[in-house]
A and B are shown apart, each in its own frame.
Chain A
Amino acid sequence: MRGLLRNNLYATGSNARVFSGFMLLLGAFTAAVISQSLQIGYVMIGIIGFSVNAVLVGKNESVSKWGKYKLTMPVKRADIVKSLFFNEVIWLLAGTVFAGIEVGLSWLIHGCLFDRPIDMLTMFALGISMSLFMGAIFFPLLYAGGEERGEVFLIIALLGAFGIDFAIVSMANEILDPGITAILLGAAILVGCSVSAFILSYPLTVCIFKRKEY
C-alpha cells in the first residue's frame, strides 16, 4: 500500500505543484480584495481542483502499461482501488487547507465577508461534498468504461456531483426552517451523503475493477 500511495503521490505531484502555484497567486489576490463571491469561488476551486487532479491519476496511468504492470505486482486489486480513494482524500484535505488559509487570511485583513461566520461552513461543506460525490461517480465509471474516456467521465462526474448537491440543498431549503440549525443540519446532510456515497463507491469500484482485463 505504501508503494501504491507513493505512486499516486508522484502521479499527482507534478500537476499539483503547478496548481498550488496558481492557487497561491489567486489566494493572495482573493485575500487582498473584499469580495464574497470571489472568496466562495476560491474555496470551491481549491477544494474541487485538487480533488480533480487527484482522481485523474487512474486516467494518466493508461498512457503507459503501468496499469497492467501493477496487476503483476504483489498487490491486490482492492488495494489499487483503495489507494486511489485515499489519494483523493489526501488532496481534498490539501485543497481544504489552502481554502482555509485564504479564508483565515481574508478574515484577519478585512473581517468576515459573510453575514454570519457560520455561512462559511456551508461553503466548505459544499466544496467537500462536491469533491466526494465526484470521486464516487468517477472511479467506477473510469474502470467500467475505460481509462481512455477519462475526460468525459470527469465531466459527467462533476456535473453529477453538482446536480446531486443542488438537489440536496434545494430539498434542505424546502424542508428546514431558516436559521443556524438549518445551516448546520444542511451542511451535515451534504457531507454525510457525500461521505456515504464515497464509501459505497469503493466496493462498487473494486467489483468493477476485478473484472477489468488488460
Chain B
Amino acid sequence: MENILELQDLSKAFPKSDFKLENFSYSLPYGAIGGFVGENGAGKTTTIGCILNTMRRDGGTVKLFGREMTDADTEIREKIGVVYDGDNFPGYWSAKQLSRVMEGIYRQWDNALFQKYLEDFRLPAGQKIKHYSRGMTMKLAVAAALSHHPELLVLDEATSGLDPVMRDEMLDVFLEFVQEENHSILLSSHITSDLERVADYITFIHNGKLVMTVSKNDLVYHYAVMRCRESQFRTLDPGDIIAWRKRDFQIDVLVSDGRQAQKKYRDAVVDHVSVDEIMVLLVKGERV
C-alpha cells in the first residue's frame, strides 16, 4: 500500500531541554487514520512540527505525497489541512473574515462548504472568534481545515479540552473525511479513547522514541495484559513480554497475543487491554 506520509530516521534535538527525537520512522497509508499517543512532552508535537516544516529537523527524511516538502512546495501544502490545539486564529477575526483571508490563500477554498460547516457546527459567522467558547474555536479550526478540500488532515491535540459530545461530533467528521480512499488523518492526542474509536493504527511515543505501532485490530483482538504472581512471572518466556509493571500484589505483563499467552500460561489471568493501559505499561513499566 502506498503511503501519504513517510518519516525515515527523523531526528530533532533541543539542546536546552535535553529532549531529542531519535531516529523516528513512521508511515501512514492512504485512506487510514494514524494516531500518535504519548505522555505530555513525549515528542508528538515535535514530530508534527518536523512534518509540517514549522520546525527544522536535524536529520532524516519526511515525505508527504511521495516527496520531501520544502518551503517552496506550496502545492503540497494545498493538500494539507491542519488543526492545532487552542487558538488557531487571531481572536479579533470573525469566521467571515477568516473565510476571506483563506480564499486569498488556498486556491481550492470552498466558501459554500465553509458556510455549510458553520451552519452544521452552529458557529455564528459574524461574531469575533475571541467570543467563541473553546469548543467553538476548535470546530471553527476543523471547518477551516476541511474547507479547502485537503487530502491529509494533521490534527495536533485537536480534541483536547472538548466535552464528550463535541468530541464525538468531531470524530464523526473525521471518520466521514476518510471515507474517500485517498484521504488520511494523522491524529495526535493523549485522549486515548478518541484514538481507540477512530484510528486504524496507533503509534506509541515515549521520550522522543517510537515505541511501537499497532493496528487497532491487533490491539482489540490480540494484545492483552496478563496478571501474574511473581512466581509465575519468573517462569515467563522473555520473548513473550513486551513490557511489564509490578503492582502491589501482581505483575501486569503486556503481550502481543493474548490467546496464545492463555494457552501457554494456563494459570495466568489474561485481560483485554486498553490504549491507556498499554501507554502506562510502556511509559511506567519496564521493557525486556
Contacts and interface: CB of A to CB of B under 8 A. Distances in A.
B87 A3 contact: no
Interface string A2-42: 11111100110010000000000000000000000000000
Dominant SS among interface residues on chain B? loop
B177 to A, nearest CB: 17
A82 interface: no
B106 A69 contact: no
Contact of B92 (A14, A77, A213): A14
B47 to A, nearest CB: 14
A214 B52 CA distance: 10
A14 to B, nearest CB: 6
Given A77-B71, A211-B56, A6 B88 contact: no
Interface in B231-272: none
Contacts of B279: none
Given A74-B74, A74-B105, A69 B82 contact: yes
B66 interface: no
A72 B74 contact: no
Interface residues of A, number: 30
**Residue of A3, A61, A73, A211 with most chain B CB atoms under a 10 A cut-off:** A73
A69 B88 contact: yes
A61 B104 CA distance: 18
Interface residues of B, number: 33
A3 B103 contact: yes
Interface stretch (B17-25, B36-44, B93-101, B190-198): B93-101
B84 interface: yes
17 contacts: A2-B104, A3-B103, A6-B100, A6-B104, A10-B92, A10-B101, A11-B90, A60-B90, A65-B84, A66-B88, A66-B90, A71-B53, A72-B54, A73-B106, A76-B74, A213-B56, A214-B55
Interface of B: 49, 52-56, 71-72, 74-75, 77-78, 80, 82, 84, 86-93, 97, 100-107, 154
